[in-house]
Every structure is written in structure tokens, then in C-alpha cells.
């Protein structure tokens, strides 16, 4: 496709420092006002701090500060077994626990070469797409709340999220921290009653997306505040390692579900929405369109799910010692590319356990997008990146 080719063809001829932020000169020679936005801040994304230097209302410099939720997941994982780390992966991106579990299970299956039975793959896809749906709905809800619409779209989004969390609770026993995936399959099988309940919920989702769309997409205030704000060009996005809806909003056709074809995603017929401008409005629209594509995948998966076992019969959960080696496995999580890099030395604990956090790497370009804008736009741009601090700091 010409879009994906053009961004890298001209990178070689760029001068040194093309991928650094373009600094702005302050007007006049007064002092800059330095504001620390965070770590305790009304925007609901968690404990994150941005040190901004302002010239009046314009942002001249922005430095993010991380580490306020650094919970040492990687160090703890070196001391417990492979399966013992599975509940910790739930707490990484705590709005989408299922996809975190899936990424870890996929990385371990790449390391050991285990096969996953078909029914388990379908269950993974169903739960993964339900997670993606409620994540995008919540993300849009939080973004609109930061814009000032104190709570109403968020209430609608959380109403659907509660329906989906009820399904998770019926199946796995927990609303949020489900701990559902295992190396070689899933933990619990879904009963026909659960599948019927899911079909009913999924049948009601298009109406919700239409309602959300009608409420928000052509809203005057939304369009005035988000169009042209926080523009990210495609070549900088690829060079900075940005993935997920943020990358596709800049026009780059890279969805790991289509590129890697992990699981059984190549059986489903779905489209990948792309944006034109790379601004906040595009990111919002991409998430809305991806919600519709998730519904498409869900209806197909719920129709075709076969019966069968849900765990690889050769899998051993006790005394699990993979052979020495390493593997990097990644999936298209709702926030971007979530990858796990595991090094095994033949023991029961991993030698090195590394998480590639999409939220942290998507924040690399936060400074680029915010320079020159007003401080009120910083909150919106930051909200459109859609981060979760549990993943940024691990």
C-alpha cells in the first residue's frame, strides 16, 4: 500500500534530529511559568506527572515523569513460577485484563511450542473482543469527561461495561482480575447458557454504538476542540514505536491481528479503520469504528464456535519447566502492541521477564504533539493517547 511505503522511503534522506521534538521559541523574554500537572490530578488516568513550561497559555516544554505506580512486576516475576505471574499480568493494564493474560500465554506458547485447541482459540477471541469493546467505550467516556461533559458519556460507557463484566463474572468468577488464560488454552469452559447470554449482550451492542455515535460524533464542541489538535505524522509515529489506534489514526495500516495473524484472527472478516489527519478527533473516531468491527468479529465467532477441549492435553501445569531459550510474543491489545519477552534457563522461574508496554511507548511523542498548543489541549491530547498507569510503570 502506498501509505505504508511512503513514510519509510524518505526517512533515509532526513537530516539528523528529524525525529526530535520541534522546539518553539517563547514570545518575548519573560519568565516561563512551570507547572507540575500531576501526580494527583482530576483527569482520571492515574498517577502521572507532566512538568510543563508555559508561555502564557502555550506549552513550550513538556517532560513526563513516570514511576509513581512502579510495582516491580518484572522483579517479582523472576522469583515466582511462570504460572504464578499470570495473576500479576491482570494488574498491568487493569481495564483489559484478558488481553494481558493472552499476550503472556502467547509468549509462553511461543517459547514452548504448545498448541491451543480450537475451542479455546474461539473463547480467547470472544473474550478479547469483548474486552476491546469495553476498553474503547471507557476510553471515549474518559476523554469526553476531560473535555467537560462531566460524566454522562462515561455513564453510558460504564453501563455497557457492567453488562460485559457480568459475563466475565459468570464465566471466570471475577469481574476484573480474571486470570483466565493458561499456557495451552483457557481455564474454564463456557457453558451453552453463557454463550446464549453473550449472544444476547452482543445483539444489544450495535444500538449502544449508534447511540454513542449520534451523541458525540457531530457534536459541535467536540469537533471544535479536537480537530487539528495534537497532530501526529505517520513517519514520526512509526519511528517512535507508536502502535494501536494511535498509529492507525495517523494513517498507517498496521494491525497486529492482520499482520501476525496470531490465534485464529485470519478466519474472521473484519476491516481496519484508518485515519487521515492523526489528530485527537481521528483517534476518537478510530476507537468508535473499532468498536463496530469488534461487534462484527464477535458475531462471527459466536456463530462458529466449535465444541471440544479447552486445554492442550499434553500441557503440564505442575512442574512447568520450559527448555532454555527465549521468545518474544505480541498481540494487538486495545492500547497497542503488548509484547512479552521471556528468557528461560530451564528452571521453574523465568530468568528474564520483560513486558513491552504500549502505553509507555505511545507517550514518547507526547511532547511533540503538545508543543505549541494551549495547556487546556494538553489534557485532551493526553486523554487521546489512552494510557493506563499500571502498564506504563508496571
Partner 1 sequence: MVDEGLKIELGKQGIFVTTIEELYNWGRRNSVWPMQFGLACCAIEMIATTMARYDLARFGAEVFRPSPRQADLMIVSGTVTKKMAPQVVRLYNQMAEPRYVIAMGACAISGGPFKQGYNVLKGIDRYIPVDVHIPGCPPRPEALLQAFMTLQKKIDGQPLTGEDRPRHLNSEAQGVFPVPVQGEHDLEPTSNPGVWPVPVVIRS
Partner 2 sequence: MKTVEEIKAAIEAAVPGAGVEIVMNPSVSGQHSLRLAPSCAIDVAKFLRDDAELALDFLSNVTGIDWPDKEITEKVKVTRPVSKTVEGVEKTVEEVVEETRKRLEPGCLEAVYHLYSVAKKFGPVVLRMRTIDRTDQVELPSLTPIWRSAEFQEREVFDLYGIVFTGHPDLRRLLMWDAFKDHPMRRDYREPDDFEYEPTAHDDVLKRAQEHQTPTGQPGSGAGQ
Is 84 a binding residue for partner 2 by CB under 8 A? The answer is no
- Residues 81, 349: Cα–Cα separation, whole Å: 4
Q: Does the footprint of partner 1 cover residue 91 (CB under 8 A)?
A: yes
- 23, 57, 67, 276: which one binds partner 2 (CB under 8 A): 67
When asked if residue 347 is in the footprint of partner 2 (CB under 8 A), the reply is: no
How far is Cα 113 from Cα 184, in angstroms, rounded to an integer? Answer: 9
Count other C-beta atoms under 10 Å from residue 228's C-beta: 13
17 binds partner 2 (CB under 8 A): yes
- The option from partner 2, partner 1, none interacting with 95 (CB < 5 to 8 A, set by class) reads partner 1
Cα separation, 78 vs 75, whole angstroms: 5
Least distance from partner 2 to the Cβ atom of residue 70, Å:
4
* Binding residue (CB under 8 A) for partner 2 from 25, 72, 207, 269: 72
Q: State the Cα–Cα distance between residues 238 and 101, nearest whole angstrom.
A: 26
| Total residues at interface with partner 2 (CB under 8 A) | 51
* Helix (H) / strand (E) containing 330: strand 325-333
Residue 194 interacting partner from partner 2, partner 1, none (CB closer than 5 to 8 Å by kind): none
Residue 323 DSSP one-character state: P
Cα separation, 331 vs 50, whole angstroms = 29
Instruction: Look at residue 328 and give the partner it binds from partner 2, partner 1, none, a contact being a CB closer than 5 to 8 Å depending on partner kind.
Output: partner 2
Separation between Cα atoms, residue 294 and residue 299, nearest integer Å: 9
Cα 100 from Cα 107, distance rounded (Å): 11
Q: Is 270 in the site for partner 2 (CB under 8 A)?
A: no
Binding partner selected for residue 154 from partner 1, partner 2, none, CB under the kind-specific 5 to 8 Å limit: partner 1
Task: Tell me which residues in 149-208 interact with partner 1 (CB under 8 A).
Answer: 154-155, 158-159, 161-162, 175-177
Residue 225's nearest CA partner among 371, 365, 380 is 380
* Helix/strand/coil for 1: coil
Q: Say how far apart CA 126 and CA 298 lie, in whole Å.
A: 6
Q: Which of 235, 232, 275, 236 is nearest to 255 (CA)?
A: 275
Q: Which is nearer to partner 2, 7 or 163 (CB)?
A: 7
Q: Is 278 helix (H, G, I), strand (E, B) or coil?
A: coil
Cβ 70 to partner 1 shortest distance, Å:
5
Contacting partner 2 within 168-207 (CB under 8 A) = none
Residues at the contact surface with partner 2, assessed by CB under 8 A:
4-5, 7-8, 11-12, 16-17, 19-20, 66-67, 70, 72, 74-75, 110-113, 236, 238-242, 252, 254, 259, 322-328, 330, 337, 339, 341, 343-344, 352, 354, 356, 360-361, 363-365, 393
Residues at the contact surface with partner 1, assessed by CB under 8 A:
39-42, 44, 46-47, 67-73, 75-76, 79, 87-88, 91, 94-95, 154-155, 158-159, 161-162, 175-177, 389-390
Amino acid at each position: 500500500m502506498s501509505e505504508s511505503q511512503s513514510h519509510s522511503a524518505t526517512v533515509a534522506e532526513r537530516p539528523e534530529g528529524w525525529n526530535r521534538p520541534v522546539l518553539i521559541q517563547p514570545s518575548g523574554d519573560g519568565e516561563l511559568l512551570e507547572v507540575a500537572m500531576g501526580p494527583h490530578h482530576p483527569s482520571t488516568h492515574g498517577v502521572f506527572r507532566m512538568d510543563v513550561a508555559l508561555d502564557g497559555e502555550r506549552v513550550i516544554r513538556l517532560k513526563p515523569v513516570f514511576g509513581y505506580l512502579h510495582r516491580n512486576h518484572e522483579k517479582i516475576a523472576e522469583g515466582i513460577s511462570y504460572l504464578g505471574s499470570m495473576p500479576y499480568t491482570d494488574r498491568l493494564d487493569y481495564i483489559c485484563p484478558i488481553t494481558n493474560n493472552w499476550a503472556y500465554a502467547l509468549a509462553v506458547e511461543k517459547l514452548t511450542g504448545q498448541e491451543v485447541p480450537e475451542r479455546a482459540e474461539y473463547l480467547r477471541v470472544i473474550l478479547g473482543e469483548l474486552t476491546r469493546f469495553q476498553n474503547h467505550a471507557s476510553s471515549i467516556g474518559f476523554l469526553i469527561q476531560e473535555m467537560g461533559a462531566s460524566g454522562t458519556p462515561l455513564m453510558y460507557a460504564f453501563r455497557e461495561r457492567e453488562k460485559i463484566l457480568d459475563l466475565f463474572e459468570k464465566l471466570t468468577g471475577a469481574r476484573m482480575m480474571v486470570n483466565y488464560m493458561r499456557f495451552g488454552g483457557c481455564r474454564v469452559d463456557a457453558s451453552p447458557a453463557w454463550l446464549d447470554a453473550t449472544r444476547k449482550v452482543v445483539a444489544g451492542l450495535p444500538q449502544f454504538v449508534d447511540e454513542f455515535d449520534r451523541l458525540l460524533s457531530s457534536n459541535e464542541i467536540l469537533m471544535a476542540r479536537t480537530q487539528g489538535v495534537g497532530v501526529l505524522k505517520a513517519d514520526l509515529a512509526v519511528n517512535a514505536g507508536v502502535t494501536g489506534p494511535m498509529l492507525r489514526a495517523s494513517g498507517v495500516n498496521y494491525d497486529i491481528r492482520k499482520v501476525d495473524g496470531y490465534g485464529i484472527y485470519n478466519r474472521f472478516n473484519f476491516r481496519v479503520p484508518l485515519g487521515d489527519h492523526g489528530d485527537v478527533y481521528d483517534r476518537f473516531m478510530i476507537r468508535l469504528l473499532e468498536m463496530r468491527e469488534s461487534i462484527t468479529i464477535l458475531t462471527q465467532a459466536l456463530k462458529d464456535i466449535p465444541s471440544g477441549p479447552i486445554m492442550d492435553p499434553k500441557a503440564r501445569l505442575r512442574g512447568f519447566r520450559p527448555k532454555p531459550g527465549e521468545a518474544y510474543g505480541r498481540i494487538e491489545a486495545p492500547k497497542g502492541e503488548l509484547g512479552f519477552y521471556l528468557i528461560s534457563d530451564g528452571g521453574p522461574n523465568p530468568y528474564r521477564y520483560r513486558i513491552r508496554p504500549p502505553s509507555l511507548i505511545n507517550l514518547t511523542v507526547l511532547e511533540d504533539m503538545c508543543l505549541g498548543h494551549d495547556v487546556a489541549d494538553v489534557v485532551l491530547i493526553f486523554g487521546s493517547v489512552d494510557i493506563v498507569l499500571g502498564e506504563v510503570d508496571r
